[in-house]
Structure 1
Amino acid sequence: MRLLLSLLLLAPAAFAQEETSDEEGEVAPSEHPGLDSPEAVRLHKYEGPRRRAQAFLIPMDEKARAPTARVAQAIEGVLARTPMYEVVDLGRILSVESTSEQASRADEGRKLVSEANLAAVSKGWREAAGLYAKALQALEKGLPAVGPAEYADALLRLGVARWISGEEKTAKSMLQAAARLDPQQKLDVQRIEPGMAPLLRAARAEAEAAPHGALDVDSRPAGTRVIVDGEAKGNSPIHAELPSGKHLLRIERAGFYPHAELVEIPPRKTVERSITLSVTPAAASLNQAIAAAAEESGRGTVGKSVGALAEKFSLERVLIGSVRSQDEKVAVLLALVDPSTRKIVASQRLLLLADGTDADQIETDAQNATRSLVQQDSSPSEEAPAARAEKPALANKEPQAVAEPAPATESKQPAAKKKKKGLRGKTGTEGWPED
């Protein structure tokens, strides 16, 4: 089964010429569809074992950073849609919420919020307002460890406490700020003070009607995830139109400490933020291993570095790559490695134009190269038994084909001496023993 399945994936066009469909809307596959194409998925459902796999890509110089992000995105997309691979989630393994100091500040803020809640329950609103204000100061110092909803909730509670304490003007601005940080309208003021619901609705309307500005975010490394007020805005660089006022910006990427800050957006103006994330110690050591593995694969060898990556994440396939700038182009080296045998399954070298106007083409070329690597990935030790199981009828017929000529073979033996027969077909020696 496995061998035949591999052949189907490698040459789907040949089988497409033999198979036709009468279903309305069914179309023949393209001449060379990729493994993750809709045609291949529809025609050939993979049922074999899945291999744990992951890609590791590293930029070899500063100019290669942006193209590396494009190539990585293309590779990840193909691997994620390749049925025989189970892509390991390195993001979850390497992710961190914050530094220990930021986490400590966040915990301090949460403790103050709890104390303020107790004061509010006993109707000590002025005391509660003071505690909420201190809590927000602590939370702001630990923003990477604080969720946007958690911060917006603390701000809402401060607005409620200010309003009931008689500070209506200050309270309105607090409620509007909380509404801006809650574009999905998940804040529930009913559980804090039911009578404040109309005021929060009015604050939402005023926040939405405010003149807009814009936020441009760039980051190093490129391709970090950008989140504004709890809503994902895509990977950096991004441009976002936002209501004027304060917004909570968060930038994160696996292997780096996340960054979070409050950004003031003026009306009809654009604020530019360029953020450099700090790599975590675990990711720093991983980067060194990736660089060494990329150097090994560049020489056409598989050494200890690839084995270390595979062992660390329990991988059965490692796609290792490097991206190096060359004037207006980038050289991309990709190698698919079987760490169990320490052999390169397949490799690809690409020279791509990277003048800033060809991002889509870089992704397309990287996708095609990755598909080519995947198509060459097979295991003879697994295929042979599957091939015999796929065609049991042929195996049963082969012995019969050999057995059929047996009579012809026997006819070549020396024939027994014939005895002359007399009258009525008798020889006169019937019953005598044979010689």
Structure 2
Amino acid sequence: MRALVLALLPSLALAASPNSARRASSLLIPMDQASEATSVQMEGHMNEALANFSGFSVRKAEDLFGLPGDPTAQSALERARKGYSESAAAFDKKEYDDAESKVRATLKELQGAPAAMRGCSPLCESLALYAALLHLRGDVEEAKLVLIDLIAVSPTFELNPKRFSRDFIALRVQVATGRTSQLRGSATVKSRPAGARVYVDGDLVGHTPVTVPTLTVGKHLLRVERPGFRQYGQLMEVTPDDVEVSTELVPTAAYKAYDAQLDRVASEVSRAIPQANGASAMGKSLGLDRAMVGTVKTASSGEGSELILGYYDLRNGKKLAGRRMVLQGDEFGQLKSEMERIVNQLINVSEGGTEKVVRSSDPLDNRGGTEDWGAEDRGGRTRAQEKKKKPGDDPLEGVSGTEDW
């Protein structure tokens, strides 16, 4: 299955009514599995570049495809919340056997709830309650194991002194400063398709495939999400040994229908034809007016990515501008500036400007490194400033001094 990544582009070439903004987006279609995650990274950089433009309606991947939750996980979370409330009430009444029975059932429900969880509640509260019950009946070592999981999920979780005894709170401090709680492990998270966002204990840690180092041993909340696919989650057990989690994300029916159009669109982009009827049909199905459509794949040299982009008016399929280039990766953080320059160049070309000829795959070949400092038109601001200039204005206003280097 082909995956795609969305970044948003403005519609600038055609006039629009003062109160309307054109709906636009950019579609990067990975042509091999290795490019799935790279295309997501490009999307992020392009979105940042597009913040410089006005007059368009941003349509992110979430807007087009949504982030559907897991109904089963949501139901499990609702039952767990109810179960914790009942177990806490029994604990406060000192009905410890009933409280333990209920909190055990709650923890079992929570095993299937991580896809719907955005924080550690009610997991943290349930773990604390269960550990306290084990401590009360004298199972101190078992209580310590549960506290290790609690500390792993939320190191700063505070125990309520009105509910829990001083001895139990002291045990929690002892566990937190003990040798076991100082142990660390790593977790590698993969998904199909790649490029999904990964959250551990509520924090974004990267996109699949990603390795998260130095995690505290114990249980952690894992959530994986990608627009157009059902969210996935699990309670991940981290040990001193490396842990790997792999998941096949489930696409929605709407995404499947959309995915079926990508082969035709990718073919049009690769052949660089001036009229792309497939892209036009795709734009209509998504409710878009303009789009920058591209394919990305591993370069033939095995290093870097080959990117082909076309900027289209999706109402009629007309190609407004295009580029083909090889990007050398992001080892030194250069991908962000490369994507910003590409976005600006294509939009400028569609507006009647000129495009610089790149004769080499090396983006630095025949370049002094200062060409774009003052000359690059970010967000169309240079054109807007030029229109506002009047005879007699300061000729050096808005000039950086590097334009002619």
TM-score for the superposition, normalised by structure 2: 0.70
Change (3 A) 1:74 1:159: same
User: What code does the residue aligned with 1:87 have?
Assistant: V
What are the equivalent positions in structure 2 for 1:126-145 lying under 5 Å apart? 126-145=97-116
**1:162 is aligned to 2:147:** no
What are the equivalent positions in structure 2 for 1:25-424 lying under 5 Å apart? 51-91=22-62, 94-96=65-67, 98-150=69-121, 151-183=123-155, 185-187=156-158, 189-190=160-161, 192-193=163-164, 195=166, 196-206=168-178, 209-236=181-208, 237-267=210-240, 269-297=241-269, 298-303=272-277, 305-310=279-284, 312=286, 314-325=287-298, 327-328=300-301, 330-340=305-315, 342-352=317-327, 360=333, 364-378=337-351
In the alignment, structure 1 segments of 5+ residues that lack a partner are 1-34, 36-46, 380-385, 394-435
Q: Distance in 1 between matches of 2:60 and 2:39?
A: 19
Could you tell me whether the CA contact under 8 Å between 1:220 and 1:277 is conserved in 2?
yes
Query: How big is the shift at 1:128?
Result: 0.9
Q: Distance in 1 between matches of 2:81 and 2:338?
A: 49
DSSP-derived class of the 1:337 partner: strand
Query: How big is the shift at 1:62?
Result: 3.2
Listed one character per residue, the Cα deviations across residues 301-344 of structure 1 (whole Å, up to 9, x for unaligned) are: 232643543563x4343221112445335432212223345432
- Number of corresponding residues: 339
User: What code does the residue aligned with 2:258 have?
Assistant: L
Change (3 A) 1:81 1:264: same
The range that moved more, 200-209 or 127-136, is 200-209
Change (3 A) 1:96 1:74: closer
Query: How big is the shift at 1:79?
Result: 2.2
Query: How big is the shift at 1:73?
Result: 3.5
Query: How big is the shift at 1:180?
Result: 1.1
User: What code does the residue aligned with 2:318 have?
Assistant: K
Query: How big is the shift at 1:54?
Result: 1.8
Change (3 A) 1:377 1:161: farther
Could you tell me whether the CA contact under 8 Å between 1:219 and 1:275 is conserved in 2?
yes
Could you tell me whether the CA contact under 8 Å between 2:280 and 2:316 is conserved in 1?
no
Q: Distance in 2 between matches of 1:315 and 1:192?
A: 56
DSSP-derived class of the 2:251 partner: coil
Change (3 A) 1:378 1:229: same
Q: Distance in 2 between matches of 1:152 and 1:376?
A: 55
Q: Distance in 2 between matches of 1:266 and 1:102?
A: 25
User: What code does the residue aligned with 1:238 have?
Assistant: T
The range that moved more, 85-94 or 169-178, is 85-94
Percent identity over paired residues: 24
User: What code does the residue aligned with 1:346 have?
Assistant: A
User: What code does the residue aligned with 1:301 have?
Assistant: Q
RMSD: 3.8
Report the structure number with the largest CA radius of gyration: 1
Q: Distance in 1 between matches of 2:188 and 2:315?
A: 46
Could you tell me whether the CA contact under 8 Å between 2:103 and 2:126 is conserved in 1?
yes
Could you tell me whether the CA contact under 8 Å between 2:128 and 2:159 is conserved in 1?
no
Query: How big is the shift at 1:140?
Result: 0.3
Q: Distance in 1 between matches of 2:259 and 2:322?
A: 21
Q: Distance in 1 between matches of 2:311 and 2:162?
A: 55
Change (3 A) 1:321 1:359: farther
User: What code does the residue aligned with 1:295 have?
Assistant: S
Q: Distance in 1 between matches of 2:150 and 2:63?
A: 30
The range that moved more, 218-227 or 358-367, is 358-367
User: What code does the residue aligned with 1:271 have?
Assistant: V
Q: Higher helix share goes to which structure?
A: 1
Query: How big is the shift at 1:111?
Result: 2.9
DSSP-derived class of the 1:223 partner: coil
Query: How big is the shift at 1:116?
Result: 1.5
Query: How big is the shift at 1:138?
Result: 1.5
DSSP-derived class of the 1:376 partner: helix
Change (3 A) 1:198 1:378: farther
